[in-house]
Structure formats: structure tokens, C-alpha cells
Chains A and B, each alone.
Chain A
Amino acid sequence: GQNIDQPTEMTATEGAIVQINCTYQTSGFNGLFWYQQHAGEAPTFLSYNVLDGLEEKGRFSSFLSRSKGYSYLLLKELQMKDSASYLCAVDYGGATNKLIFGTGTLLAVQP
């Protein structure tokens, strides 16, 4: 079976750093995606990891350990606009792009 786990909710303070964890168990692995989804809006792409290690993109970084089935999204210098749901998704498909999503982590940034 396919399974992705991430915390349901997190709270952090403006200007701080927050780490959102994701663990996965899937039949295949072609890469891991992080998406951001504001309430009532479409998910937007944040990052993609296929090899172990850290990928940095501005205030956002994403880490992957394939042997541990583990990833995290690191958000630095938090801003109020970062309040959103963060979705972890694994591409487990063989020849096609088949994503399985976690339920998402709802992040609330407080002043």
C-alpha cells in the first residue's frame, strides 16, 4: 500500500523557523514534491527532491532521505502570508507521474 504521514497542524511565530516533516511508504519512488495551498486556492509547487540531501530555494528548503523514507520542508523568516496548508506528495508511478498526497499540514503563523 501507499502511505504518507505529516502532522495535521503546526503553529509558529512570525520571523521564526519551522520544520514540517513527512514520512512515506510507497511501492515506488520517482521523487518527492512539496506544495503550498492557501485556503480556497489551488496548490502551488514549492520544491522537488529525487536525490538525498538538501535543496534550497530562498526562504524554503527541502530535505530528503530515501533510505529513511523521510523528508522535511524548512521555512525560514516566517511571514504571515506563509499561513497555509503544506502538502507532501510522492511520485510512486513507474512510467507515469502518479502522485500520492499526504493530508497536508496546516501552518498558522502568529504575530
Chain B
Amino acid sequence: ETGVTQTPRHLVMGMTNKKSLKCEQHLGHNAMYWYKQSAKKPLELMFVYSLEERVENNSVPSRFSPECPNSSHLFLHLHTLQPEDSALYLCASSQDWAEQFFGPGTRLTVL
């Protein structure tokens, strides 16, 4: 595997479900990010991790819970989501604060 990978690529869940999105970067970077991309809206930064510490939480509802166990892995735990949370969730990584490399995203649908 190279670059930034994300699993699953597609996810359909009910509002009462609990699921997790996974991101793995194979670039040796020290910062990782979660973004939300909704139709017709700009990419929205959700969380930033630097050296496995959360350095940014961009007013994201608590039903989204990030976890960064090491510098290569990033998770987004989801619970009791709403239909308006349906979107493409993108993970990215960077070395320090240089350009970010994005994963292919997880297309999430909340029923």
C-alpha cells in the first residue's frame, strides 16, 4: 500500500448504529486530518492531529469521536448520527505543515 488509504470506501448506517472509519498513511508523516465534504459545500476541516495529539477540534458535534493511536493510523468513531451527516469523509496527512495528501474518502450515508 502506498499513500493514504481509507476503509471502508462506502458505508450505510442507521441513526442508532455505531461504526468507525479507518485511515492509514504510509508516507511517514507526523500530522493527520479529518475533513467532511458535502455536495455543493467546501471541504470542512474537522480534526487535526500532530504527533498523535489532537491540536484542533473544529466545533464538531460529539457524535464524531476521533482517535489517533499512532502516527500512521487515524480513526473516526461514529454514533447516533443524523441524515445531514451523510457526506464524503476524507483523511489527509502531511509532514509538519507542508502540503496535505488525501485518501480516497469514505462515502457515508445515514438513513
Contact = CB atoms under 8 A, between A and B. Distances in A.
A91 B99 CA distance: 10
B97 A87 contact: no
Contacts of A74: none
A30 interface: yes
B100 A45 contact: yes
Contact of B50 (A35, A96, A102): A96
A30, A48, A96, A100 — which one has the most chain B CB atoms within 10 A of its CB? A96
A103 B41 CA distance: 6
B81 interface: no
A97 B102 contact: no
Contacts of B48: 96-98
B43 A101 contact: yes
A43 B90 contact: yes
A33 B99 CA distance: 8
Interface of A: 4, 30, 33, 35, 41-45, 48, 87, 89, 91, 93, 95-104
A60 B98 CA distance: 19
Contacts, number: 57
Given A4-B42, A44-B102, A103-B40, A98 B56 contact: yes
Given A96-B48, A96-B50, A42 B42 contact: no
B75 interface: no
Nearest to A6: B42
A30, A33, A96, A99 — which one has the most chain B CB atoms within 10 A of its CB? A99
B101 interface: yes
A33 B98 CA distance: 10
28 contacts: A4-B42, A33-B99, A35-B102, A42-B4, A42-B90, A42-B104, A42-B105, A43-B43, A43-B90, A44-B102, A48-B98, A48-B99, A87-B43, A89-B43, A93-B56, A96-B48, A96-B55, A96-B56, A97-B31, A97-B48, A97-B96, A98-B45, A98-B48, A98-B56, A99-B43, A100-B42, A101-B42, A104-B42
